[in-house]
Amino acid sequence: MILIKSTKKFTVKLLLGFLLLGLAPHSSTAQSFTQMMEFADEKIVEGDYYYALKYYQLAMNLDSNSVEVLWKFAEAQRKYKDYKKAEYYYGRVYAKEGGLIYPKSIFWLSTMEQYNGKYESSLEHWKLTKKVFKKQKKGYEYKKSQQSIKSCLWAIKAVNDTTDYLTNPLPAPVNSKDAELAPVIYDNQLWFTSLKADSINYNEEVLTKEYSLQIYTADQEDSIFSNVGLLKGVKEKGSNGANGSFSPDKKRFYFSRCNENFECKIYVGKVKDGRITDVDSLGEIINTPGVVSTMPHSTSINGKEYLFFVSNREKSVGGLDIWYSTVTAGNKYGKPRNVGRGVNSLDDDISPFYDTIQQKLYFSSSWFEGFGGHDVFYAENKELRFMNPRNMGIPINSSQNDTYFIVDQKNERYYYSTNREGVSYAKNQLVATTFLPRICLF
């Protein structure tokens, strides 16, 4: 999720940065380098990785031998999701300092190589990572290196195996140069989340945009989509609305709402004439104060309604976990339960979807044996115990992020989102994301 904010203060700082480099004759190179680094660090805190990269690049032009700027440049490229450049600069950092200053340089080099599909090279570097963190065997980095060695060995063999699925990105106007994700089926429509600009304006000669995630609808007839429009009743000024899901009777619509600090809660509203009414936040049983609650998925299991969702609440295995709650009378929620270590891991486990016919829980994870990034897995349901997740394989999965898998049972189609190489994307000064996710059909 990315929210880009532009302010007058930001514009002044941007112009000041260029003044420091070229138009301020009395400023020293050392001062300029320090200023560029400080500006870049501020942009990282704000989540504006595009401009952070610009400032780090300016600082690197002044001192190309600085390990600090190389490290921060690599970090910004990773957060910007340009994994190829991130791999290159993590490699430069590790070559210079051998993990003595930045021990995670080898960790992230291994990760980026895995994301780029370089499994044999990644495997060797994960072995080095394991040695670097061997004194911290209970730490995340050591355990991740152990698991990633297994994943690379698995991927080297599995990369040559393909399934019978044929995947195709959805055409315009659903997919665009912006981000599209979290598809859900409603009668003859596709509802989905997209990252789009709210407004365009010029401020002191610097072009800016205000972006937010919101839910849109599109009419669907076979594989033809039309009439894309903002879902009415969900959008709230200053917040992101995303990740929709219908109750089993299609009378209620759950979704996530996050503020500018990415504090997310789950909301629900009534479905009426293609819009959402009477929107209200779920109580503290679900939206526990101080934790993330997001990615709701409502379903029916053995005649009972359940709400699956993602949270980092207390007793999570690690990062974001998948949880579930019983729903009675449409508005009473039982105490959330963790779906267990068979699915949840030390990494983020996200975007749950339950197939009521096959009785499988689909989800995405970057922990289990996979191709890199988040892969789609499924685990069979045995009395609400989900064990032994299986990778969906190629071409559904890739070395990038494959998420939000859903089943259209009526039309026997599957949808999911991916940011794999080859999808259309925007990469310019207004959109701080590379390889934005696209919705695919197979």
Domain containing residue 260: CATH number: 2.115.10.20
Given 129, 158, 187, the domain boundary residue is 158
Residues 105 and 183 in one domain: no
CB 245, CB 269: distance < 8 Å: no
Residues 215, 315: one domain?
yes
Q: Report the CATH number at residue 150.
A: 1.25.40.10
Fill in the DSSP letter of residue 335. Answer: P
Domain termination site, one of 99, 127, 158: 158
Do residue 347 and residue 369 come from a single domain? yes
Same domain membership, residue 196 and residue 332: yes
Domain-located, residue 7: no
Which tokens hold the place of 12?
Answer: 């002044």
Whole-number pLDDT of residue 23? 39
138 and 180 within one domain: no
Residuewise pLDDT in 10s, the chain (442 residues): 333 333 334 333 433 333 333 334 344 556 688 999 999 999 999 888 999 999 999 999 999 889 999 999 999 999 998 999 999 999 999 999 999 999 999 999 999 999 999 999 999 999 999 999 999 999 999 999 999 999 999 999 998 887 777 788 888 888 888 889 999 999 999 999 998 765 333 233 333 356 788 999 999 988 889 999 999 999 998 889 999 999 999 999 999 999 877 789 999 999 999 999 999 999 999 999 999 999 999 999 999 999 999 999 999 999 999 999 999 999 999 999 999 999 999 999 999 999 999 999 999 999 999 999 999 999 999 889 998 999 999 999 999 899 999 998 888 888 999 988 755 444 333 233 334 576 676 5
Q: Is residue 95 included in any domain, yes or no? A: yes
Of 133, 158, 183, the domain-final residue: 158
Whether residue 211 is found in the same domain as residue 360: yes
In a domain? residue 319 = yes
345 and 285 in a common domain: yes
pLDDT at 200: 33
Backbone phi, psi, residue 165, to 5°: -75, 145
CB burial string 88-117: b at 16+ within 10 A, e below: ebbbbbbebeebeebbbbbbbbbbbbbbbb
Helix (H, G, I), strand (E, B) or coil at 75: helix
Q: Is residue 2 part of a domain?
A: no
Whether residue 188 sits in one domain with residue 150? no
The pLDDT assigned to 176 comes to: 84
132 and 211, same domain (yes or no): no
CB 24 within 8 A of CB 59: no
- Co-location of 82 and 217 in the same domain: no
Given this model, what pLDDT does residue 190 score?
A: 93
Question: Based on the structure, what is the number of domains in the chain?
Answer: 2
The residue range of the domain holding 143 is: 13-158
Question: Is 283 domain-assigned?
Answer: yes
Same structural domain, 144 and 203: no
- For residue 138, is it within any domain? yes
pLDDT of residue 422: 57
The whole-number pLDDT of residue 5 equals 35
pTM for the structure as a whole: 0.85
| Residue 260 belongs to a domain | yes
188 and 247 inside one domain: yes
Q: What is the pLDDT of residue 8?
A: 36
**181, containing H or E segment:** strand 179-186
- Domain assignment present for residue 377? The answer is yes
